[in-house]
Structures are given as C-alpha cells and as structure tokens.
C-alpha cells in the first residue's frame, strides 16, 4: 500500500479545500481559520518532503505568528465595516478568474512537459541522516553557502519590526506607558486626554487642545475599536 501517496492525497485535498474555503467564505474569520488549516496541512507536506525543520518553521512562523496577527487584526476590525462580499467590478473580477484558470492550465502543461532538472546535488537522504537529520544539514548549509543571505534576512526582519512599530503604534499610547518619551511620528492625529500631563507634540506641531478632543466625530467616519483611546473601554 503506497502510504505516502495516500497521505499525500489526503493532506493535499484538505489543503486545497481549505484554500478554496478561505477564498470563498463570506466571513473573514472563517477564511482565516481555514487558512490555518491549510497551512498546517502544508506543514504536513513539508514533513513528507523530508524538510522537518521547515514544517516546524511553517507551523511556528506562519500559523503561530502571522495568522495569529492576521486574526488579531481581523477581530479588531468591526465586522460591519467589512465590505460586501459581492464584487464591485464584475468584469474585472471575471477576467481575473479566467486568467487564473488559463495560468493553471499553462503551469500544468509546463509540469507535464517534464523539463530537465539541474545537476543532482550531494544532499541525498543518506548524507542528511549521517549529518544528524534535516535540521543539522540545513543549519550547516545556511551557515556556509548562504551566510550572507542569512545576515541580510536579519536586516529585513529588523526593518519589518521598525515598520510595524512606526505604522501601528499611535503616539498617544506610547506616552501613556510613560517609558517611551517620544515615538517616530507619522503625523497621526494626536489625541490629548489631559493637557498638563502630556508634553507637546513634535516640535513643529501645535498640541490639539481639549476642545478639539471633544468634537463629535461625523457619523460617517467609522472608527476602529482598538485604535480608540483604550480609556473608553478599560477602567484600569
């Protein structure tokens, strides 16, 4: 019984169905969760391909961090703000689907035509086992051939972090923690709960006086729950 084939078909089917569900589901949370399912299956595929480390990385990084963040944001966005499921420009979307199908056929054809592969490397399963498993082998390759890339990727991650901070954290919150004197301001509107305590905005910006703060926001402007001043919600 070719267990691997069976396992492959099962996992493959689940992941494809999950992916389809993710695209088609009206409720974003459901699509989020379906994506989690899909990614877990993909981790399974990685294991079948012998890349255990990648499977674990897939689980920890993708499902563990990125999708959690995604769900995080999904939950923060009030459901009624979400756009209607139905398509705004049918023609455009129709063409999109058509293109997708054509591309699928093309890639299928490409796979079928069996292009020749490059020269066989020396990382046969036997060598990997000799080195003590996929993790050790991959570790050694990473540290030797791809050392530069490894360093550069660390830079990419750092920029990612800084980017996230700059974009997501509104100043005001920064101040309340008290430790953070000033943050990188992108000119977000700066709320002011009590004028005395808070220091003026960045040098050139005039502090928003309390009067402004109380100005009722026009109804049309719908606001994000979390971005609002948490004081509205927690009594701590």
Partner 1 sequence: MEHYLFLIPLLPLVAFVINLLLGRWVVKHASAYIAQVAMFGSWVVSVLVFFDIRGSSDKVLEQHLFTWIPSGTFNVPVTLHVDQLASIMLLVVTTVSTLVFVYSKGYMAHDGGFYRFFAYLPLFAFSMLMLVLANNLLLLYVFWEAVGLCSYLLIGFWFRRRSANEAAVKAFVVNRVGDVGFGLGIMLTFWTFGTVDFYGPDGIFAKAANHAALGVSGGTMTAIALLLFLGACGKSAQFPLHVWLPDAMEGPTPVSALIHAATMVTAGVYMVARTHPIYLQSESALVVVALIGAFTSFLAATIALVQYDLKKVIAYSTISQLGYMVFALGTGAWVAAIFHLMTHAFFKGLLFLGAGSVMHGMHDELDMRKMGGLRKFMPITFWTFLIASFANAGLIPFAGFWSKDEAIVGAWASASSVGKLAAVVGLITAFLTALYMFRCVFMTFFKAPRFNPEAIHPHESGAWMAVPLVILAVPAALIGFIGFPPENGPFQHFLEPVFEQAPAQTTHANEQASLYTIQEPATTRTAIAAAQAATATETHETHVSTATTVTFGIISTIIAVSGIFVAYLTYITGTISATAIGARFAPLYQLFVNKWYLDEIYHNYITMPFYNFAMFLWRIVDVKIIDGTVNGVAALIGAISQRMRTVQTGLLANYALGIALGMVIIVGIYLAGFSTLFR
Partner 2 sequence: MAQEPMWLTFIVAFIIMNVLLVGMAYTTWYERKVLAAMQDRLGPTRSGPHGLLQPLADAVKLLGKEDLIPAGADRVLFFFAPLVVFVAALVSVAVIPFGGTVQIGGRAVNLYATDLNVGALFVLAIGSAGVYGIIVGAWASANRYSLLGGLRAAAQVISYELVLGLSLVGIFIITGSLSLREIMEQQQRSIEIGPLHISNWFILSQPLAFVLFLIAAVAETNRAPFDLPEAETELVSGFHTEYSAFRFSFYFLGEYINMLVVSLFASTLFLGGPSGPGSEKYWGLGLVWLFIKVAVFMFFYIWLRATLPRFRFDQLMGVAWKVLLPLALLNIVITAFIRLIANGQIF
Partner 3 sequence: MGHLGVEHYLFLSAILFIIGLMGVLVRRNLLIIFMCVELMMTAVNISLVAFGTATDTLNGQAFVVFTVAVAAAEAAVGLGIILALSRRGKTVDVDDMHSLRD
- Of the pair 153, 200, the CB lying nearest partner 3 is at 153
CA-atom Rg of the chain in angstroms:
25
- Of the pair 120, 194, the CB lying nearest partner 3 is at 120
Interaction partner, residue 130 (partner 1, partner 3, partner 2, none; CB < 5-8 Å by kind):
none
Q: How many of the other CB atoms lie within 10 Å of CB of 42?
A: 21
Interaction partner, residue 187 (partner 2, partner 1, partner 3, none; CB < 5-8 Å by kind):
none
Residue 82 lies near partner 1 (rule: CB under 8 A): no
Nearest alpha carbon to residue 197 among 229, 182, 230, 175: 175
Among 103, 149, 162, 166, binds partner 1 (CB under 8 A): 103
- Cα three-residue angle 133-39-21, rounded to 5 degrees: 160
Among 3, 84, 86, 92, binds partner 1 (CB under 8 A): 92
Stretch that binds partner 1, among 101-109, 127-135, 146-154, 211-219 (CB under 8 A): 101-109
Cα(98)–Cα(205) distance, integer angstroms: 51
Residue 68 lies near partner 2 (rule: CB under 8 A): yes
- Alpha helices (runs of H) in 49-170, residue ranges in sequence order: 52-57, 68-76, 90-112, 125-131, 134-144, 147-168
Q: In residues, how long is the chain?
A: 236
Cα(91)–Cα(57) distance, integer angstroms: 39
Residue 141 lies near partner 2 (rule: CB under 8 A): no
- Of the pair 126, 236, the CB lying nearest partner 2 is at 236
- Of the pair 10, 209, the CB lying nearest partner 3 is at 10
Q: How many of the other CB atoms lie within 10 Å of CB of 59?
A: 17
Nearest alpha carbon to residue 41 among 63, 24, 21: 63
Residue 53 lies near partner 2 (rule: CB under 8 A): yes
Stretch that binds partner 1, among 14-22, 108-116, 191-199, 226-234 (CB under 8 A): 108-116
- CB of 43 closer than 8 Å to CB of 24: no
Cα(29)–Cα(36) distance, integer angstroms: 11
Residue 144 lies near partner 1 (rule: CB under 8 A): no
Q: Which residues of this chain interact with partner 2, rule CB under 8 A?
A: 27, 29-30, 33, 36, 40, 52-53, 55-56, 59-60, 63-65, 68-69, 71-72, 75-76, 132-136, 177, 179, 233-234, 236
Q: Which residues of this chain interact with partner 1, rule CB under 8 A?
A: 89, 92-93, 95-96, 99-100, 102-103, 106-107, 109-110, 112-115
């Amino acid at each position: 019984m070719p267990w691997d084939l069976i396992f492959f078909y099962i996992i493959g089917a689940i992941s494809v169905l999950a992916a389809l569900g993710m695209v088609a589901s009206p409720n974003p949370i459901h699509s989020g969760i379906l994506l989690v399912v899909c990614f877990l299956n993909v981790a399974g595929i990685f294991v079948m391909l012998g890349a255990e480390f990648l499977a674990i990385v897939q689980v920890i990084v993708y499902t563990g961090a990125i999708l959690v963040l995604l769900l995080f944001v999904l939950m923060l966005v009030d459901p009624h703000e979400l756009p209607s499921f139905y398509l705004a420009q049918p023609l455009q979307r129709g063409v999109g689907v058509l293109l997708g199908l054509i591309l699928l056929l093309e890639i299928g054809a490409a796979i079928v035509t069996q292009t020749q592969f490059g020269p066989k490397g020396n990382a046969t399963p036997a060598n990997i086992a000799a080195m003590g498993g996929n993790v050790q082998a991959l570790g050694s390759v990473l540290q030797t051939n791809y050392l530069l890339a490894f360093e550069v990727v660390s830079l990419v991650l750092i920029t990612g972090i800084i980017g996230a901070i700059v974009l997501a954290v509104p100043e005001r919150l920064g101040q309340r923690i008290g430790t953070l004197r000033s943050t990188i301001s992108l000119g977000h509107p700066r709320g002011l709960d009590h004028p005395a305590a808070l220091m003026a905005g960045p040098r050139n910006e005039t502090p928003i006086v309390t009067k402004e703060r109380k100005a009722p926001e026009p109804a049309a402007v719908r606001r994000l729950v979390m971005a609002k001043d948490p004081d509205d919600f927690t009594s701590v």
